[in-house]
Amino acid sequence: MNRSRLGRLACALMAALAVLLLQPQASFATTNIQHIKTPGGIEAWFVQDATVPLIAMQYAFGGGADQDPADKPGVGTMVAGLLDEGAGELDSKTFHERLDRRAIELSFNSTRDYFRGSLRMLKDNRDEAFGLLRLALTAPRFDKDDVERIRAQIMSGLRRQTTDPNSLASIKLLEAEFGDHPYGRPAGGTLTSIPKIDVADLRDYTRRVLAKDTLKIAVVGDIDAASLSKLLDDTFGALPAKSDLTPVAEIKAAQPPQRFFIPLDVPQTVVAFGVPGVKRDDPDFMAAYVVNHILGGGSLTSRLYHEVREKRGLVYSVYEYLAWMVHSSLVIGTTATRADRANETVETIDTEVRKMADNGPTQQELDEAKSYLKGSQMLALDTSSKLASGLLQYQLDNLGIDYLEKRNTLVDAVTLADAKRVAKRLWGQGLVTVVVGRAPQASAQPAAVTPPKAN
């Protein structure tokens, strides 16, 4: 499984960072983002930054957990856990020794829509780092002992989920919203699916998904464009030209109101809630982003935080966020409370959601939200790794290479009328709510008391 090398990398960077702390911090707000195309046709967004002798790369292939066979969710997750467990002539032990010796961070992750990867290294180790990535992508070994070890680790995690209220609530919410669609299946697999996955499934997944036609890349660091172009060609050039993805249907999340209850003997009752959201290319997206911040966007000034925690002391934290996918979207929220206060918590959340739907935010709330969101954006991109991740996401969302320059203007363009209209659109029908905790819970009163599918 992927291993953290943060400690080793931190030690390697200590001297450089000590010098850096004595100098003004570089600002990515005015960074020049280059669009490079290699001689081999590989494209990437690139920011050259020599502040620290480090290179960070994020990349993604179209097709993630949505490419798992319907009866075998978790194939992508197993592939992500195994790509760095030996490749080419290097067995798992040798591969990891090479990574560790050079403090190279290499990881993979299968999300619902994408198979993503991350690579970070000191600039002096770039050739070895990119070479190991090339081997992992083009010549994974999938040795039997490694497959069984990773399988056992995943199974152990899945067993823990059966007693984790947060996991159960999340699984049930997605199942309720998306049913048998790939988005409704656990991306990490289930206790019944993981044992059925074999090496043929792993190789078929890599053959179909890891291809150049859907590849997006973002690189930030101490390297010039010509050297990077050569490394990208060497690393990704041997991949298949075309992917072979299974088509995934568009789907609209289930309409509220719905409530579900899952009995579980735990000290804290978890509440997950959601509504159909807006996709990233929807004209209402930025208005939804702003008004969601006002209602429950994770800050200490949100309405839900004020009403549920500060005013009534029902919970420690409560938040919600926009979750947009290629084929659908949700607004998802979560909190936790004492079992005897679950009903009051759910009803308070419902009340605030309906107030927002009926009346929208105030002008003051809108102005303050805009100010916060504009100021916080650059803080979210204040390291090379964060910037690379952001630039990759902008590519996946088709936002354009000038999005960072335009973003604050788009935030400012949201009017009070926009915010009120979108609040009604999002929350006008109430919530889909999942409560996981000690039974009986009056807060649930479900039409059908159903646990998540076996996992």
- Are both 229 and 278 inside the same structural domain? no
Residues linked to residue 329 through DSSP beta bridges, in sequence order: 324
Q: Does 431 map to a domain?
A: yes
Enter the tokens of residue 399.
Answer: 């936002």
- The pLDDT assigned to 440 comes to 54
Pairing of strands 258-263, 432-437: parallel
- Are both 17 and 162 inside the same structural domain? yes
- Are both 134 and 202 inside the same structural domain? yes
Is there a contact between 331 and 292 (Cβ–Cβ < 8 Å)? yes
Q: Does 252 map to a domain?
A: no
Among 403, 139, 381, 163, residue whose Cα is nearest residue 263: 163
- Are both 381 and 300 inside the same structural domain? yes
- Are both 165 and 270 inside the same structural domain? no
CA–CA dist 192, 200 (Å, integer): 18
- Are both 264 and 206 inside the same structural domain? no
- pLDDT in 10s for each residue of the chain, 455 residues: 444 444 444 444 333 333 333 333 344 444 799 999 999 999 999 999 999 999 999 999 999 999 999 999 999 999 999 999 999 999 999 999 999 999 999 999 999 999 999 999 999 999 999 999 999 999 999 999 999 999 999 999 999 999 999 999 999 999 999 999 999 999 999 999 999 999 999 999 999 999 999 999 999 999 999 999 999 999 999 999 999 999 999 999 999 999 999 999 999 999 999 999 999 999 999 999 999 999 998 678 899 999 999 999 999 999 999 999 999 999 999 999 999 999 999 999 999 999 999 999 999 999 999 999 998 887 788 899 999 999 999 999 999 999 999 999 999 999 999 999 999 999 999 999 999 999 754 434 444 444 455 45
CA–CA dist 126, 267 (Å, integer): 48
Q: Does 219 map to a domain?
A: yes
Q: Does 446 map to a domain?
A: no
DSSP-assigned letter for residue 301: T
CA–CA dist 179, 152 (Å, integer): 28
- Are both 44 and 109 inside the same structural domain? yes
- Are both 302 and 386 inside the same structural domain? yes
Q: Does 448 map to a domain?
A: no
- Are both 168 and 218 inside the same structural domain? yes
Q: Which residues 6+ apart lie within 8 Å of 167 measured at CB?
A: 160, 161
Q: Which CATH number do you get for residue 131?
A: 3.30.830.10
| Tally of domains in the chain | 2
The strand ranges marked E within 11-53 are 34-37, 43-48
Q: Does 251 map to a domain?
A: no
CA distance readout (Å), 327 to 210, 224, 248, 281, 390: 20, 37, 8, 11, 21
107's enclosing H/E stretch is: strand 105-110
Is there a contact between 39 and 78 (Cβ–Cβ < 8 Å)? no
- Are both 341 and 428 inside the same structural domain? yes
CA–CA dist 293, 218 (Å, integer): 28
Pairing of strands 105-110, 114-122: antiparallel
State how far Cα 53 lies from the chain centre. 27
- Are both 14 and 144 inside the same structural domain? yes
290's enclosing H/E stretch is: helix 285-296
- The residue range of the domain holding 225 is 6-22+30-236
Please give the model's pTM, rounded to 2 decimal places. 0.89
Among 138, 124, 131, residue whose Cα is nearest residue 230: 131
Is there a contact between 87 and 141 (Cβ–Cβ < 8 Å)? yes
DSSP-assigned letter for residue 158: H
Judged on CB neighbours under 10 Å (0-12, 13-18, 19+), 316 is exposed
Q: Which residues 6+ apart lie within 8 Å of 93 measured at CB?
A: none
Among 443, 430, 448, residue whose Cα is nearest residue 256: 430
Q: Does 374 map to a domain?
A: yes
CA–CA dist 342, 348 (Å, integer): 10
- Are both 150 and 274 inside the same structural domain? no
Q: Does 428 map to a domain?
A: yes
Would you mind telling me the total number of residues written for the chain in this entry? Answer: 455
55's enclosing H/E stretch is: strand 54-62
- The pLDDT assigned to 300 comes to 83
Please give the order of strands across the beta sheet that includes 318-324.
Answer: 258-263, 432-437, 268-276, 329-338, 318-324
